[in-house]
């Protein structure tokens, strides 16, 4: 696609940046709150949030201050030594997750790698023999990242193509079909199940609360780990800190990333006892994980979420925003089939390819993200104002009203 506003950065990308992200249409140079500006000075309402990352919007003053202060004090010492922010962050996450332990990393895919290694260690403990109990059941349409472990857990041809052979032991069952999972989970050979509470990249498909509760029971009965990927739907996005809280389940381990650092790369896995003892000295590690600067950024996110009561605010604003979005279905039932999702993780489900609409919306000043074939994702920052939420629905209404279905 040709750049919408060509500039010298577009030139540098065209010549030197690997082609795996295609040709991004804009160079964004500045952000504040829910707004970003491109190199030509045009302002956009950013409801992509860097793909569900900027929980506090852009450049929240508290976040900026914490990161600046920590950058001037201590950035990195590796995990050969303790750093204060990592300890505080682990304690803060334990407050939300319950007793247990946390391992830090740098991205979502890495967090899922940690979960998959945990599954292997659990399988070894269960069977007593390496390589016997290595099964991991995932959901059809799942997305768990682009590393070899992540791709193996992502049963999508477009992700896996060209990279086989992948890790063995993975099987996929349809989301919300409990009898299929019941059949797929074998007490002897299955170490874990891994699933997103709301599938994001797959097209905004929520797991039913009852399905999650039934799945938890099967896992407990067969000594299989229930591993939940909250990388996209977690950290307040759905109106609870974790989306699985709606189902009242207690996962054995949780993967987090994206919103946790508010834009600074950090990931984490929390593990419930006794599984938190499976990782012992030498079993896992990363040079950067839980570095002082990244941990400070995450602490700032959690602090602002509490001080500004962001979760309460999301819940307060959701009814009006969702009603405005549902009005799009009545306005263009031929084009907009459904509004799906929870809180600030919304899929506008279309009857057409969402990509041209994402372009038209961007040109009209609203940044959105396509997903899973026919979904257009809206992922506002948790700090978005009522006016900004209303503006997003207005821009959508304006663009969709005129849209010609071929």
Residue 107 Cβ, how far from ligand PLP at the closest point, in Å? Answer: 4
Q: How far is the CB of 405 from ligand PLP (least distance, A)?
A: 29
Tokens of 114: 């940690």
Cα–Cα distances (Å) from 79 to 90, 103, 255, 356, in that order, read 14, 11, 20, 46
> β-pairing, 135-139 with 170-173?
parallel
**List 232, 296, 383, 392, residue binding ligand PLP (CB under 6 A):** 232
Alpha-carbon 373 to chain mean position: 18
Cα–Cα distance measured from residue 171 to residue 153, given in angstroms and rounded to the nearest whole number: 8
Distances (CA, A) of 298 to 58, 256, 289, 371: 14, 11, 12, 27
Residue 134: CB partners within 8 Å, gap ≥ 6? 119, 120, 123, 168, 169, 189, 191
| Residue choice 101, 144, 237, 377 for contact with ligand PLP (CB under 6 A) | 144
Cis amide linkage into residue 274, ω under 30° from 0: yes
Separation of alpha carbons 323 and 325, rounded Å: 5
Residue of 44, 47, 143, 279 that binds ligand PLP (CB under 6 A) = 143
Span interacting with ligand PLP, options 25-33, 59-67, 228-236, 275-283, rule CB under 6 A: 228-236
Q: Kindly write out the interface string for residues 188-207 of this chain, putting x where it contacts ligand PLP by CB under 6 A and - elsewhere.
A: --------x---xx------
Among 173-181, 229-237, 296-304, 345-353, which window interacts with ligand PLP (CB under 6 A)? 229-237
The CB-of-295 to ligand PLP minimum distance in angstroms stands at 17
The residue from 112, 152, 238, 383 that contacts ligand PLP (CB under 6 A) is 112
Ranked by CB distance to ligand PLP, the top (closest) residue is 108
Q: In angstroms, what is the minimal distance from the CB of 51 to ligand PLP?
A: 6
Q: Closest distance between ligand PLP and the C-beta of residue 102, in Å?
A: 17
54 is an interface residue for ligand PLP by CB under 6 A: no
CB of 257 or CB of 382, closer to ligand PLP = 257
Those residues whose C-beta lies under 8 Å from the C-beta of residue 236, and which sit 6 or more positions away, are 55, 259, 305, 310, 311, 314, 382
Among 34, 107, 296, 392, binds ligand PLP (CB under 6 A): 107
Query: How far apart are the C-alpha atoms of 293 and 243, rounded to whole Å?
Result: 27
| Window contacting ligand PLP (CB under 6 A); options: 137-145, 212-220, 268-276, 288-296 | 137-145
List interacting residues with ligand PLP (CB under 6 A).
Answer: 51, 107-109, 112, 143-145, 196, 200-201, 229, 231-232, 257
């Amino acid at each position: 696609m040709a750049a919408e506003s060509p500039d010298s950065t577009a030139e540098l990308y065209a010549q030197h940046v690997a082609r795996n992200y295609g040709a991004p249409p804009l160079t964004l140079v500045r952000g504040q709150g829910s707004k970003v500006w491109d190199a030509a000075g045009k302002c956009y309402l950013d409801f992509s949030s860097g793909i569900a990352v900027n929980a506090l919007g852009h450049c929240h003053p508290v976040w900026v201050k914490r990161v600046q202060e920590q950058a001037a004090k201590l950035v990195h010492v590796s995990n050969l030594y303790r750093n204060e922010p990592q300890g505080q962050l682990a304690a803060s996450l334990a407050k939300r997750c319950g007793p247990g332990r946390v391992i830090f990393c740098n991205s979502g895919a890495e967090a899922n790698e940690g979960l998959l290694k945990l599954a292997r260690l659990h399988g070894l403990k269960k069977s007593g023999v390496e390589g016997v109990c290595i099964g991991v059941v995932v959901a059809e349409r799942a997305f768990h990242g682009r590393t070899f472990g992540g791709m193996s857990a992502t049963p999508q041809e477009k992700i896996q193509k060209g990279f086989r052979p992948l890790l063995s032991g993975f099987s996929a069952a349809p989301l919300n079909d409990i009898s299929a999972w019941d059949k797929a989970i074998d007490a002897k050979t299955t170490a874990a199940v891994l699933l997103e509470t709301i599938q994001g990249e797959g097209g905004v498909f929520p797991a039913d609360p009852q399905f999650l509760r039934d799945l938890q029971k099967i896992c407990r009965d067969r000594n299989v780990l229930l591993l939940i990927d909250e990388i996209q739907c977690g950290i307040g996005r759905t109106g609870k800190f974790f989306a699985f809280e709606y189902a009242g389940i207690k996962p054995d381990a949780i993967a987090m990333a994206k919103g946790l650092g508010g834009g600074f790369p950090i990931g984490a896995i929390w593990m419930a006892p006794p599984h938190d003892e499976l990782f012992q000295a030498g079993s896992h590690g990363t040079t950067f994980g839980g570095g002082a600067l990244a941990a400070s950024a995450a602490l700032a996110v959690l602090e602002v979420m509490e001080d500004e009561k962001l979760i309460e605010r999301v819940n307060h604003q959701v009814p009006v925003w969702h009603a405005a979005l549902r009005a799009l279905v009545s306005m263009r039932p031929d084009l907009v089939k459904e509004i799906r999702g929870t809180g600030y993780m919304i899929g506008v489900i279309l009857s057409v390819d969402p990509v041209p609409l994402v372009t038209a919306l961007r040109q009209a000043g609203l940044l959105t993200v396509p997903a899973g074939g026919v979904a257009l994702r809206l992922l506002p920052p948790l700090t978005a104002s009522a006016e900004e939420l209303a503006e997003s629905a207005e821009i959508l209404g304006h663009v969709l009203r005129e849209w010609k279905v071929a």
